[in-house]
């Protein structure tokens, strides 16, 4: 299944400038230069993953894979927005706050024109994080009316996770859900937290293990049908019970 994308993207990010804004430790600088040298292509933003009514033809849940941007431009990750976001080799989305000293992140926007989303499952093929100093990493979500809420956090240390799924139930159903991978800057600056999100080791891959599955609130018409069906069942059971009850 293809994710929907805007045909006329309003803006693009070419990632971080590859010139650090302040002196950094040699190791950090080397890491940045490697990341900058390896990146390719352009990250197109303002793209959302939209679920239409046809996607829910078999029920109230539907699933779509999301793509990792290819360094060859052969495919595209439906990215909504980001700060401190670059594209490295093998189609990795890469964020770092090493030289920014602010939160850096990549955001995915999931929308539903078929009804409000009541919950979602976020599947990630592979992500690699490094907590450093007082920096940390988090997968977060929000709606148009809420603030960012963590559904996974990681503190200090390098960590690679494969085939992770996270189930989130929304407090209030929403037609738009934003999901972001965030490297969060703590009070101390100069430490180098980063995160890489990817589907494959090969460039431009679509991986079925990177997916988003949403559950929508049934339409009023659907609810009415369900209610009518339940009422009929209950009535039938009641009548059946009445007929089979022994006389007293
Ligand atoms: Ca810090
Ligand atoms: Ca930092």
Tokens standing for 222? 């659907």
Ion ligand 1 residue ranges (Cβ < 5 Å): 133-135, 185-186, 188, 191
Q: Please list, in sequence order, all residues whose beta carbon lies within 8 angstroms of the beta carbon of residue 163, skipping any fewer than 6 positions away.
A: 123, 124, 125, 126, 209
SS3 per-residue string spanning 131-183:
ECCCCEEEEEEEECCCCCEEEEEECCEEEEEEEEEEEEEEEEEECEEEEEEEE
CA of 106 to the centre of ligand 1 (A): 18
Ion ligand 2 residue ranges (Cβ < 5 Å): 97, 135, 185, 191
| CA 37 – CA 211 distance, rounded (Å) | 29
CA of 128 to the centre of ligand 1 (A): 18
CA of 51 to the centre of ligand 1 (A): 37
| CA 105 – CA 20 distance, rounded (Å) | 18
Give the ligand whose atoms come closest to the C-alpha of residue 155.
Answer: 1
53 vs 243, residue with greater confidence: 53
Q: Which of 183, 218, 212 is nearest to 199 (CA)?
A: 212
Return the H-helix or E-strand segment holding 5: none
Tokens standing for 43? 């990250």
Q: Where are the domains of the chain?
A: 12-217, 218-248
Residue 138: pLDDT band with limits 50, 70, 90: very high
Residue 82 confidence (pLDDT) above 50: yes
**What does the pLDDT average to over 106-125?**
96
Residue 26 confidence (pLDDT) above 60: no
Contact 144, 194 (CB under 8 A): no
Contact 140, 183 (CB under 8 A): no
CA of 103 to the centre of ligand 1 (A): 9
For the chain, percent of residues with pLDDT exceeding 90: 42
CA of 130 to the centre of ligand 2 (A): 11
Contact 203, 89 (CB under 8 A): yes
Residue 124 confidence (pLDDT) above 60: yes
Is the domain covering 12-217 a CATH 1.10.20 domain?
no
Q: Is 117 exposed, middle or buried (0-12, 13-18, 19+ CB in 10 A)?
A: buried
CA of 134 to the centre of ligand 2 (A): 8
């Amino acid at each position: 299944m293809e994710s929907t994308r805007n045909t006329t993207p309003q803006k693009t990010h070419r990632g971080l400038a590859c010139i650090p804004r302040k002196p950094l430790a040699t190791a950090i600088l080397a890491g940045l230069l490697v990341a900058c040298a390896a990146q390719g292509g352009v990250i197109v933003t303002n793209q959302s993953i939209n679920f239409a009514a046809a996607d829910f033809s078999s029920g109230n849940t539907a699933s779509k894979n999301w793509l990792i941007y290819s360094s060859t431009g052969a495919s595209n990750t439906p990215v909504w927005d980001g700060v401190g976001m670059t594209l490295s080799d093998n189609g990795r989305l890469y964020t770092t706050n090493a030289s920014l000293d602010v939160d850096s992140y990549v955001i995915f926007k999931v929308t539903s024109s078929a009804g409000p989303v009541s919950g979602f499952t976020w599947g990630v093929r592979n992500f690699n994080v490094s907590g450093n100093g007082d920096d940390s990493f988090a997968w977060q979500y929000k709606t148009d009316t809420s603030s960012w809420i963590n559904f996974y956090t990681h503190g200090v240390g390098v960590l690679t996770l494969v085939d992770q799924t996270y189930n989130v139930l929304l407090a209030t159903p929403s037609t738009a859900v934003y999901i972001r991978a965030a490297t969060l800057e703590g009070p101390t600056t100069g430490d180098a937290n980063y995160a890489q999100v990817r589907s494959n080791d090969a460039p431009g891959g679509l991986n079925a293990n990177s997916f988003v599955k949403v559950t929508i609130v049934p339409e009023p018409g659907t609810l009415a049908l369900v209610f009518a069906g339940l009422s009929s069942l209950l009535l039938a059971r009641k009548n059946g019970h009445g007929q089979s009850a022994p006389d007293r």
